[in-house]
Amino acid sequence: MVPRIDVLTLFPELVEAVCDSSIIGRALAAGHFELRTHQIRDFADNDYGKVDDTLYGGGTGMLMSCQPIYDCLRAALAGRAVSACEFDPDVPSDDPGSPSDEAGGTTPRLIYMSPKGRVLDQEYIAELAAARHLLILCGHYEGVDERVIEFVGFEEVSIGDYVLTGGELPACVLIDAVARQWPGVLPDSAAWQEESHFSGMLEAKQYTKPQEWQGLTVPEVLLSGHHAQIDRWRYLSGLSETLHKRPDLFVRLNLSREDYAALAEFERERSVEFERSFELERSDELERKAGNPNGKQTSSNSK
């Protein structure tokens, strides 16, 4: 069976709008995975869809209540009782509405998008993708009552150390990152296995046509057609990018002595190329000044 994601939210239209676009939207349309959104307001115990209330002990804002979330969760999982991630053993495993039947025999990972949670990284994303069935709760306002998190056993997941107005956009980030690792979503596995963070390092610098732009040229090795040299250059370029842009990741890499030596030579060559580029730029500037020694504007707008 195809992988499945359920999203419990107050704003299903937001999640659907994002996920119906681009690569993820095409993957959904092609049936490579399934996305179901569930409106928590449908499970309010009143006629006007109120699912939040004031905080005990005082404080600003409103907090989402336990029962509507729990009822929505049970409905999303076809009526199964949920407590600490354990499903009701009285529900037969061949129940057509059971998550294990529809998502390849796996118990869903129950996730609450929260700034308190474990921060997503590529290793964690791969772990979640292996589950093949995710159920994501999106909080709003001041979040959700702590008791439903503890009772159900949600694992809290964060996309970074900052706060947004709701969990919908973080959920979309999680969906995109996880789904692209499932078969059929991307053209082939190399499409994501060669990208930044998959191997613990950043991706190499990349270029497209034209070969020269604003005096800047594509590295010659990428035009050589020599695949082994290109692969080596990309590896060293990725190491260089990681060293300069994410030194915190670089120190975690298990590099050989040969890798360090090759990277040092790559850095020296890059420095020489930069100096040459700087010298050319400086030469061009001197020529411009020679043609206009006073540095005055010569356009028709000058006064």
Q: Rounded distance, CA 98 to CA 303, Å?
A: 78
pLDDT of residue 103: 46
Q: How many CA atoms lie within 13 A of 49 on its CB side?
A: 7
DSSP H or E segment with residue 264? helix 257-291
Question: What pLDDT was estimated at residue 272?
Answer: 72
Residue 93 pLDDT:
36
User: What is residue 275's predicted lDDT score, i.e. its pLDDT?
Assistant: 63
**Residue 64: closest CA among 157, 162, 134, 166:** 166
Q: What pLDDT shows up at residue 297?
A: 47
pLDDT at 1: 85
Q: What is the pLDDT of residue 134?
A: 98
State how far the Cα of 244 lies from the Cα of 189, in Å rounded to an integer.
27
pTM equals 0.78
Domains of the chain with CATH codes: 4-84+106-180 (3.40.1280.10), 212-289 (1.10.1270.20)
Count CB-CB contacts under 10 A for residue 104: 14
Per-residue pLDDT of the chain (303 residues; tens, 9 = 90+): 899 999 999 999 999 999 999 999 999 999 999 999 999 999 999 999 999 999 999 999 999 999 999 999 999 998 554 544 444 433 333 333 334 444 445 689 999 999 999 999 999 999 999 999 999 999 998 999 999 999 999 999 999 999 999 999 999 999 999 999 999 998 765 554 555 446 789 989 999 999 999 988 999 999 999 999 999 999 999 999 999 999 999 999 999 999 999 999 999 998 877 666 556 555 666 666 666 555 444 444 443
Among positive and negative, which fits the CA dihedral 265, 216, 195, 177?
Answer: positive
pLDDT of residue 200: 85
pLDDT, residue 17, reads 97
